[in-house]
Amino acid sequence: MFTAVILSALAMTMIVAVRYLVTSGAFAWATSKVRPGLYDGLTSQIRMELGWSLASAAIYGVPAGIVARGWQEHGWTRIYTDWAAFPLWYAPLSLLLYLFAHDTWFYWTHRLMHRPRWFRLAHAVHHASRPPTAW
């Protein structure tokens, strides 16, 4: 059981990390083609940003892996795969409720991270990138 949770968390972390590397890498490549020299002299900053971003993959991947495993084994969430199980109006309503809950969570956690103590501990690195890059 515990091994399955660890494997699920690692798998989700890898999914988040690969998604990040592919999308940010594609964006960085495209912007470097449109604006040659944009990233000149930023190698150390980009390395630091890559490291922090890959570490944040675990911040998102571990809870996602735990929830995915809980859904699969214990029915912790109301995720459904059978569209006929609920009325047709349930799908758009549940999507809107999910988006509202996610945006609310993101807003309040982001506000918390701008409080002086939390900012230094968990968020200052996000604002340290000057100029910002795709990473």
Quick one: average pLDDT of 54-73? Answer: 87
Query: Has residue 133 been placed in a domain?
Result: no
Residue 69 has pLDDT above 90, yes or no: no
Structural domains of the chain, count: 1
Query: Has residue 135 been placed in a domain?
Result: no
Q: Identify whether the C-beta of residue 61 lies closer than 8 Å to the C-beta of residue 17.
A: yes
Torsion sign (Cα): 80, 74, 69, 77: positive
Domain span at 79: 2-127
Q: Identify whether the C-beta of residue 123 lies closer than 8 Å to the C-beta of residue 113.
A: yes
Query: Has residue 36 been placed in a domain?
Result: yes
Weakest-pLDDT range from 36-40, 56-60, 67-71 = 67-71
Query: Has residue 134 been placed in a domain?
Result: no
At position 42, the amino acid (one-letter code) is L
Phi-psi region for residue 75, left (φ > 0), alpha (ψ -120 to 50) or beta?
A: left
Query: Has residue 71 been placed in a domain?
Result: yes
Residue 1 has pLDDT above 80, yes or no: no
CA 125 to chain centre: 16
Query: Has residue 31 been placed in a domain?
Result: yes
Per-residue pLDDT at 73: 80
Residue 104 has pLDDT above 90, yes or no: yes
Phi-psi region for residue 17, left (φ > 0), alpha (ψ -120 to 50) or beta?
A: alpha
| pLDDT tens digits, 19-28 | 999 999 999 9
Phi-psi region for residue 57, left (φ > 0), alpha (ψ -120 to 50) or beta?
A: alpha
CA 15 to chain centre: 10
